């Protein structure tokens, strides 16, 4: 089935609006509900895990909800783990929208996964999500042993805005001289929050899950001033050259029909130019956000599995 047919079937089945044309002046809660319907897969054949539990972790200004996934073959800790941040433009998304992604990632990688529910905009402006992500990372390093984590074998991972937070943590821990991630798994990451309107987008690139209008809506919900758009925390692509040195290895999953693809490649190139080991897997026929389409797309399931194998091998959970 062609990707456009798959998208139409998916959107019709779950009564999902077209994000490229929907009224973005609607309430934030309406947009969150639409994203929830679009992102949350319901599957009867999910991989079996040893444990899935909810807990609280430290945020920058209080506790954050989190979910811990333990695969069947995880063994007794200390063991590798993945700290995962969901996408959604810093304004939408939660633990449930990315529950299936995390379950499949845990099973494929044989690593524990900790999914973190950071504060969202517009209620919480920049740098709230980034401060929460860093606080959650510190919690995982300092207290993750209670969950069986090996602090020397922790990866950061996330899709879109979650990929932004993962890239930020790698750079920020290096800047501060604190424990860095051992690996970065960046799933079609948002690495600059300035503009995508300057590029000419194909029809496929301007559709599902991200579009110029939606990009602007997310950016302006989270960021108050134009100067903040260039802040290296939210636009790690524009960080000084020194901030790319000595960072942990990174694996990129990019989509052929994604307006963020070129920025992802540019970010990977900057890392490689500074001696950081990088790998890229591009899915030419996929759109931004496709890993949330596992209910109707077998390629999405395969892509998560493949990404899990990469990070599992990098952390030593797999041979």
Considering the candidates 98, 258, 283, 297, report the single residue annotated as catalytic: 258
251 annotated active-site: no
- Report the C-alpha dihedral over residues 24, 30, 66, 100, rounded to 10 degrees: -90
Residue 163 to residue 188: CA distance in whole angstroms: 7
274 annotated active-site: no
Considering the candidates 34, 115, 160, 211, report the single residue annotated as catalytic: 160
Q: Which tokens in the block code for residue 67?
A: 């979910």
Residue 274 to residue 5: CA distance in whole angstroms: 41
288 annotated active-site: yes
User: Known catalytic residues?
Assistant: 160, 258, 288
């Amino acid at each position: 089935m062609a990707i456009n047919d798959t998208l139409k079937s998916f959107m019709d089945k779950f009564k999902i609006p077209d994000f490229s044309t929907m009224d973005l002046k609607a309430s934030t809660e309406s947009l969150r509900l639409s994203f929830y319907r679009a992102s949350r897969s319901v599957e009867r054949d999910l991989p079996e895990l040893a444990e899935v539990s909810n807990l609280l972790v430290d945020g920058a200004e209080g506790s954050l909800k989190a979910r811990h996934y333990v695969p069947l073959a995880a063994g007794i800790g200390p063991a590798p783990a993945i700290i995962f941040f969901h996408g959604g433009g810093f304004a939408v998304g939660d633990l449930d929208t990315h529950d299936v992604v995390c379950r499949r990632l845990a099973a494929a990688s044989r690593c524990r996964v900790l999914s973190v529910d950071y504060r969202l905009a517009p209620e919480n402006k920049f740098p709230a999500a980034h401060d929460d992500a860093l606080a959650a990372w510190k919690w995982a390093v300092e207290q993750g042993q209670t969950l069986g984590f090996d602090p020397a074998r922790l990866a950061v991972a996330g899709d879109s805005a979650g990929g932004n937070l993962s890239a930020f943590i790698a750079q920020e821990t290096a800047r501060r001289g604190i424990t860095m991630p051992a690996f970065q798994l960046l799933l079609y990451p948002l690495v600059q929050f300035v503009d995508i309107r300057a590029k000419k987008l194909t029809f496929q690139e301007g559709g599902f899950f991200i579009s110029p209008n939606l990009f602007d809506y997310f950016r302006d919900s989270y960021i108050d001033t134009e100067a903040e758009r260039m802040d290296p925390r939210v636009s790690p692509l524009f960080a000084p050259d020194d901030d790319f040195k000595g960072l942990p290895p990174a694996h990129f999953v990019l989509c052929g029909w994604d307006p963020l693809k070129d920025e992802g490649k540019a970010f990977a190139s900057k890392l490689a130019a500074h001696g950081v080991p990088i790998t890229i897997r591009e899915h030419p026929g996929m759109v931004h956000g496709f890993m949330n389409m596992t209910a109707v797309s077998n390629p999405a399931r395969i892509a998560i599995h493949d990404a899990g194998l990469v990070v599992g091998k990098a952390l030593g959970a797999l041979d």
